[in-house]
Chains A and B, each alone.
Chain A
């Protein structure tokens, strides 16, 4: 039997040594976002630079701290200074920083983001003073970006599995009481009290039971679960062990979307480590409790995030939802009592066991205790993953943490395809399950898509409905047919072919789908339409009555023009135009033939992004009365 205590001591030493290393330690953020931003290239340059200068250093791959807009992120610790973090480390900067910090021991001009030590350091502020990080309370993301997710020792050294050992000293029902007392609510969307769900399953008595971790994360534009699993997989797995012990399950599943290959890899590796250290299998840590976990990959169906669909998919069937009750806690996987929890819910559980319910309740507001992670994306300056106490206002999130928008703020969309668009007037709304529902949206799993005046609200509503319509499993008519009608109406509005009465028709169809669909997918699908009609009706009316798209997005309502005075005649647009609509010799203003233009935006983008082009192509949308 492996003694966790002995290993823990070893891990603490190892961690201590990393913090005060004899040899420099270079941490590179290697979650999917870091890799997409170029972290692999950065790593290669770092290795080459080390070789070039005959420097020795220990390279550690870490996950993502959440400030994705600063990726690739590299931290360096040396014997005589704390871990210092650098952002936007592309290939050029990587070479420069290594040379400066390791060779010349000179931090000036390296533009560090901050240091990670407890002690203050030489004019460099703490990383957590960064505007994006300062207002955050990092509980579930505590280790993200700081530890090596594939190194079991790192998790152990940071209080890993102490939540489990606390739980195993309690009776299962006491564990449930602790979670109930903490007031933890499910982070997968609906906010159902986790303790209550566990108790319902516990009350089913002995016999086979199952625990499922829902890592399907189908909400497009949200990546909280991906980031947590990639950056700290053991946190979720420890939560699964505690949950399984509490409810009396001996088999667990992680249902994870196939689009997350790195997260799947991290989980598989972590499961092997758990087996190695006696944290899975028979008689875990000599407690008499036995549990095993299997990873099941999703196969690309949004509805499978819904718990009853998920179960039927796990059983090898089409992922069709069914009516509840019976709830899965009574009759779930293969008809046995089953608890399904979201990744973040489970990732929070170890912290509650470790620190106690009272500690957890100091964060958040009454009825909405604790923290929630959000993916802050769209037209926002500082995009990434954040963790905030519930009750924080949308304004704080978007402006203090996110740094506001490039152009004027227009709306923030919460809750994904089931949520709604919230306008500027409501930015003081404090984020809780109830307040968001009151204004017509939902908390959802944590996607926050920020929109500015370049985003067309009608187009966004059309986008979500189109998404749902394609993902509708087709079992019930309101969802299958109703959403199709809604998409058709929205398409008409976007293309300027709608009759004046269409908005009322759209609204009543939305109401029908909402009240008569079988599962949450259809019941919430009209939300994006209903909230945008409520808060942005004038924008709809402009489309319908004046054929005017204020955001200059809807293809059939806009035109492209070359401003002769600004055009440098660089021919970039000529070369990207697929229909030959733009012509003109080099160095002379180009001509755009609107009859040939298919409004693909290629010329516009080239003209905007290319250095030698003059930003000379403009988009206009004419109001009917000006024609």
Chain B
């Protein structure tokens, strides 16, 4: 068993009510179940004594935050420079076609969500794809099919 995650209320309680808590708070809130629901925005706004639109204003600036539930597994395709010149886009397109979704979306059965990332820091082994916490290096179209099969 993984250590129990803090509930949203416990997370709120662990932060003092100052503006500089906003981003870490959003990050922890998202960690809980993978996205930031309207209820959480409301809770954070109340806790920090700012408006909900201020919370949205900051959260929407950063690409890390998502406002819709993620899939059971998250696929991130690296489109950093090294991965771009080694065929990262072909991989993204293949996922898009196979899963019939665009980056930022989630499959209807909730199995996968698909994302583009700017660099995972494994550029020497490009192109790179990350699924949940696993990083796959030197990926090509053939490998993709095998990899996807590992995630249900």
Contacts and interface: CB of A to CB of B under 8 A. Distances in A.
Contact of B19 (A35, A258, A260, A315): A315
Contacts of A314: 20
A313 interface: yes
Interface stretch (B2-10, B104-112, B136-144): B136-144
Contact of B80 (A221, A260, A413, A602): A221
Given A32-B122, A221-B119, A317 B90 contact: no
Interface string B73-116: 00000011111111100100110011000000000000000000
B58 interface: yes
Contacts of B98: 578
Contacts, number: 160
Nearest to A375: B123
B57 interface: yes
B64 interface: yes
Given A220-B80, A220-B118, A318 B85 contact: no
B21 A602 contact: no
For chain A, what secondary structure do more than half of its interface residues adopt (helix, strand, loop), or is it mixed?
mixed
A27 interface: no
Nearest to A605: B141
Interface string A546-557: 000000000000
Contact of A383 (B24, B97, B124): B124
Contacts of B41: none
Contacts of B65: 299
Interface residues of A, number: 64
The 8 A-B pairs at the shortest CB distance, nearest first, are namely: A221-B81, A220-B80, A68-B124, A299-B62, A300-B64, A300-B63, A383-B124, A223-B121
Given A32-B121, A222-B119, A316-B19, 19 more contacts: A32-B135, A33-B125, A220-B79, A223-B122, A227-B121, A259-B120, A261-B133, A296-B23, A297-B27, A317-B19, A377-B81, A378-B86, A379-B86, A416-B81, A460-B81, A576-B141, A605-B140, A606-B141, A609-B141
Interface of B: 18-24, 26-27, 57-58, 61-65, 79-87, 90, 93-94, 97-98, 117-126, 128, 133, 135-137, 140-142
Interface of A: 32-33, 35-37, 68-69, 71, 217-223, 226-227, 258-261, 296-302, 313-319, 375-379, 383-385, 413, 416, 447, 449, 451, 455, 460, 463-464, 467, 473, 572, 576, 578, 600-602, 605-606, 609-610
6 contacts: A222-B123, A299-B63, A572-B142, A600-B90, A600-B93, A609-B140
